[in-house]
Amino acid sequence: MTSPLILASASPRRTALLTQVGIAHRVMPVDIDESPQCDERPWDQVLRLASEKASTAFTRLGEEKQNSVILASDTLIALDGESIGKPADLSDSKRILLQLSGRTHDVLTAISVKNADRQRNECIRTKVHFAELTEQQIEKYWTTGEPLDKAGSYAIQGIGGQFVKAIEGSASAVIGLPLYETIQLLNEFGVEK
């Protein structure tokens, strides 16, 4: 018998990816402080955030703790060793997308799986090669509303995909959940399709 899976995320993209591969789950969003710690590198930050989300969700389970498995994830954009978060406004979106313009950046997606006995974390790095962007393209893109809640101010699975020349690594990780690695970890924890 498979263990019940709880996705500790409000992301519709993560839910859609799990559903796409036939993994039954329920959603239990958690809200944690996602601010970077002093001198924290992006790789360490994304792993910490995924782990904290899983742990926070697990503590809220109550009676279900013995049988449930928690899956949490976090995605960060890293450029020149620095984390690039979500834009606050159009000006911030321009700043972010102009930094990414014509360059290659890393998308780091960490997953954390936890049950009553253990917790495992993994991080997947995908390189994304961006096209050269103009301020006019960025302003037009901003009016779609898509960049507002996205790490790096773009969505590869949406309109922002037009700016991506190529990727090296996991396309699903850039969307928010590396499917191959996630399925392997979930199988270890007794969660199957």
Per-residue pLDDT reduced to its tens digit, 76-105: 999 999 999 889 999 999 999 999 999 999
Give the span between the Cα atoms of 43 and 145, in whole angstroms: 28
For residues 19-37, give the mean pLDDT.
Answer: 93
- Please tell me the predicted confidence (pLDDT) of residue 1: 53
Tell me the pairing of strands 5-7 and 26-27: parallel
pLDDT tens-place string over residues 149-171: 888 999 999 999 999 999 999 99
Give the span between the Cα atoms of 132 and 113, in whole angstroms: 38
39, 74, 80, 92: which one is catalytic?
74
Q: How many CB atoms lie within 10 A of CB 155?
A: 20
- Please tell me the predicted confidence (pLDDT) of residue 65: 80
Give the span between the Cα atoms of 15 and 26, in whole angstroms: 9
Give the span between the Cα atoms of 186 and 193, in whole angstroms: 10
For residues 32-47, give the mean pLDDT.
Answer: 92
Stronger pLDDT, 147 or 66, i.e. the higher one:
147
| 74 is known as an active-site residue | yes
CA dihedral angle for residue 9, residue 7, residue 34, residue 66, rounded to 10 degrees: 140
- Please tell me the predicted confidence (pLDDT) of residue 122: 97
- Judged by average pLDDT, the poorest of 45-54, 64-73, 99-108, 126-135 is 64-73
Model confidence at 2: pLDDT above 80: no
SS3 label, residue 62: helix
Domains of the chain: 5-188 (3.90.950.10)
- Please tell me the predicted confidence (pLDDT) of residue 106: 97
pLDDT tens-place string over residues 123-158: 999 999 999 999 999 999 999 999 998 889 999 999
For residues 2-25, give the mean pLDDT.
Answer: 92
Q: What is the enclosing helix (H) or strand (E) of 159?
A: none
Model confidence at 109: pLDDT above 90: yes
Determine whether 80 is exposed, middle or buried from the number of CB atoms within 10 Å of its CB (0-12, 13-18, 19+).
Answer: exposed
- Please tell me the predicted confidence (pLDDT) of residue 45: 96
